[in-house]
Amino acid sequence: MTGTWSQTYHRAMGRSATVNRETKETHIAVELDLDGTGRSEIATPLPFFTHMLEAFARHGLFDLKVTATGDIEVDGHHTVEDTGLALGDAFRKALGDRRGIQRFGEASIPMDETLAQVVVDFSGRPALVWQVAQLDGRWIGSFDCELAHEFFQAFAQRAECNLHLRLHYGANAHHITEALFKAFARAARGASEIDPRRGSDIPSTKGTLTE
């Protein structure tokens, strides 16, 4: 990525965040701009996971920088899960009090024989519904497909959102996982965007989405 990253990172309403998460198992650094153009700079030790994060940034129009290292000699679980935690933290911080956002987002994405659906509500309440049985026990290169569930579970927990993922049908593990990440991107984009009709109002009858 060119040097223009630092010049454009803190624009548009300041809806950006930086998160660093370091444990004995992983080191994850995330920079996020919700009002970006889809640029990404992703470095993880799992090439397919890197590809999924790049797709998430591109289709969500988020500017996203992720550097992740971890104990993949054990397996990829800690690295993928902790990246989900860090990205969720970044979303929570960038959304702030969630004033003026659309709050709800939904997307259905086809990929060849696959159709995946993701619905998100940045409600302040963490919940994951995972209706994707076809990935159990499957691998894409060095990526254990079951880790997709762990990533989304971690994101929902830290972003404090309702996140529902449903596979309507599909056979190819690559197509299924990629369709889920792209649908996640479009749903998160829609839910996090500012609603021009709402102004500075918080989209909740109780007046808060963070308590």
Burial class (CB in 10 A: 0-12, 13-18, 19+), 154: buried
66-103 confidence digits (pLDDT tens): 999 999 999 999 999 999 999 999 999 999 999 999 99
Domains of the chain: 4-192 (3.30.230.40)
pTM for the model: 0.92
Work out the end-to-end distance of the chain between its first and last CA atoms, rounded to an integer number of angstroms: 38
Instruction: Kindly report, residue by residue over 40-65, the tens digit of the pLDDT.
Output: 999 999 999 999 999 999 999 999 99
Helix axes 77-95, 147-159, angle to 10 degrees: 30
pLDDT beyond 70 at 123: yes
